[in-house]
Amino acid sequence: MPASKPPILLICEDEPARHELAIKLDFLEEAVASADSGGWRQAATGLRTVEAVLLAGYDPGDLRRLLNEIESFLPEAAIVLLGEEEVPDFADERMRTRLFAEPDAKSHFRDLLDVLHKARLCHEHLAGTVDSDITRGLAAVQGLIGVSSAIQRVREVVARLADTEVNVLITGESGTGKEVVARNLHRISGREGKPFVPVNCGAIPGELLESELFGHERGAFTGAVASTVGRFERAHGGTLFLDEIGDMPLNMQVKMLRVLEEGSFEKVGGTRSIKADVRILTATHKNLEDMIDSGAFREDLYYRINVFPIEMPPLRRRVEDIPLLLNELIRNLEAAGKGTVRFNSAAVSALCAYAWPGNVRELANLVERMAILYPHGIVGSEKLPDKIYRPNRQTETAPEVRESARGQAAPGPRPSMAMPPIHGMDLKQYLANLEKDFIERALQDSGGVVKQAAERLQLRRTTLVEKMRRHGLGPSRSAAS
């Protein structure tokens, strides 16, 4: 067990289920102490600290008792209810700041990784680094998937801003997820339940933007046959998200500045002042300071919208998040009924070495395209687009990507999923050979470490060792790793 990580306490009455969860945590290189409800105190006594307590398989009566005992015995540990849909009703407000319900974390590595990350953040705050309101905000942040330090910082900032009304400017390249940040800021704020209204300022012609934002009165201009409600009115009580505000014309910037200063606006062709009870969030992929120097953006508006900046990192600077993002994108495809697909380890390595100029949006498009081309199949590196599979053909690769890819073996050829010959085939033997090939590839990609190969294949380590024996791969130096 890694000594650098504070241990996790796993409490589960079902011994086989407890053993399986402990193996998964070990695969993730987590230090874990496991026990049943009668032995958890003894297991926890010898630990220097406990970041998180994972509970699985308890009925409400036993759960209430356990939670009360854990709260007094381990006051700084986050508590995770594995396999539960929601936090129980009997949990009070104080308990809810440290209690998470995670229905899928028992079965999916991606969810287990995510909940461990949230639990660690919660533990840090319970240990006194910040107040419980921020802890509650961290637990609520959704959609910002990853374990990289860059995305962790974004999640922490979003949580800090949860109960504020400050104007936020979200910057970053196209496709990095700026709207995801805005939606999180709205969802965990006091305006949750009120409208979230997004507007892409670059997609609306400049001459129509004023009417789109503020609405217009009947007869205000040719074709205005009826009075309309603008986006500001639709967002009343909630949040207005102005995406690509760098594309807003200068004349509209003046009017936007007035709304921010006075908190009111008038419809096009109208004379009545309308109160704007709206929180304004903005985003852009452009450098607004350069635009100020060139006269294309107003400096006074810039300082009004940029009270608190959040910068979204490009995907090439958070390549360690790509496997988790892949899992999340595939899960979203499945939930939407658009099919599914899987990527083998060589393909994932190739994806991690690519520069991703289109960022997460480009990755999402690729996953959907692969699901159409290879429905319910396994995508090898050779099935990826040439610009990804053959990086030497790329016109530009980011330096940090070249550095992260250094030392990785070039992906080799993979067996194709050909149709069976016209005279038939031995399906059992074919599948056995395919399984053997996958195991060999996983071992090769993992440097011969069985533990890592098992994680890549989403198998127990003991199961993989048995399959290796069955296929005659034999024990190796890694069999005990």
Other beta carbons less than 10 A from residue 466's beta carbon:
12
Which stretches does DSSP call E strand in 59-106?
78-82, 99-102
Closest CA to 367 of 391, 341, 338: 341
Q: Which phi and psi angles does 250 have, rounded to 5°?
A: -60, -40
Q: According to the model, what pLDDT value does residue 136 have?
A: 46
Q: According to the model, what pLDDT value does residue 368 have?
A: 93
Q: According to the model, what pLDDT value does residue 252 have?
A: 92
Contact 365, 356 (CB under 8 A): no
Q: According to the model, what pLDDT value does residue 126 have?
A: 65
User: Which amino acid type is present at position 421?
Assistant: P
Q: According to the model, what pLDDT value does residue 269 have?
A: 80
Residues 6+ apart with CB under 8 A from 134: 125, 159, 160, 162
Q: According to the model, what pLDDT value does residue 310 have?
A: 95
Structural domains of the chain in order of their starting residue, each with its CATH number: 8-140 (3.40.50.2300), 168-313 (3.40.50.300), 315-417 (1.10.8.60), 423-481 (1.10.10.60)
| Predicted structure pTM score | 0.56
Q: According to the model, what pLDDT value does residue 391 have?
A: 58
Q: According to the model, what pLDDT value does residue 416 have?
A: 38
Distance from C-alpha of 287 to C-alpha of 86, rounded to nearest angstrom: 42
Q: According to the model, what pLDDT value does residue 168 have?
A: 94
Please list the ranges in the chain whose pLDDT falls under 50: 1-4, 129-139, 394-425, 476-480
Q: According to the model, what pLDDT value does residue 404 have?
A: 43
Contact 356, 315 (CB under 8 A): yes
Distance from C-alpha of 475 to C-alpha of 466, rounded to nearest angstrom: 10
Which stretches does DSSP call E strand in 215-374?
239-243, 264-265, 274-275, 279-284, 308-311, 342-343
Q: Which residue has the tokens 């300022």?
A: 201
Q: According to the model, what pLDDT value does residue 349 have?
A: 87
